[in-house]
Amino acid sequence: MFDLLELQQLVSQEMPPEHRRQQEVVDAYLHRMGRGFSPAFLDDFWMEVGKLFSLESDQAFLSGLHLGVELTLALAPQPPRSPRP
């Protein structure tokens, strides 16, 4: 049986350069937003964005789980058929 913890060792823990560059772009926008909106507005906004991301990640998880079940059922050996009397 495959140990999932072994998989974690294969995944790099460092942030890829393209992710770091994109994070810098987003940070610049966040800084500009902070100058134009009140802290209360930004707090409310990010709470709602967080709820949206949560719903999206829940849906992605359920979709992946459903796909995994379908794949498992498709690959599972079918029980032998017994002849009809």
Judge whether 61 lies within some domain.
yes
Judge whether 59 lies within some domain.
yes
Domain of residue 50, residue span: 39-74
Judge whether 25 lies within some domain.
no
| Separation of CA 55 from chain center | 11
pLDDT tier at 40 (50, 70, 90 boundaries)? very high
Q: Mean of the per-residue pLDDT values for the chain?
A: 84
Mean per-residue pLDDT for 20-35? 90
pLDDT of residue 2: 61
User: DSSP letters along the chain, please?
Assistant: ---HHHHHHHS--SPPHHHHHHHHHHHHHHHHHHHHS-HHHHHHHHHHHHHHHHHHHHHHHHHHHHHHHHHHHHHSPPPPPPPP-
Residue 35 contacts by C-beta under 8 Å, 6 or more apart in sequence?
none
- Counted domains in the chain: 1
Please tell me which residue, 6 or 70, carries the higher pLDDT value.
70
Judge whether 56 lies within some domain.
yes
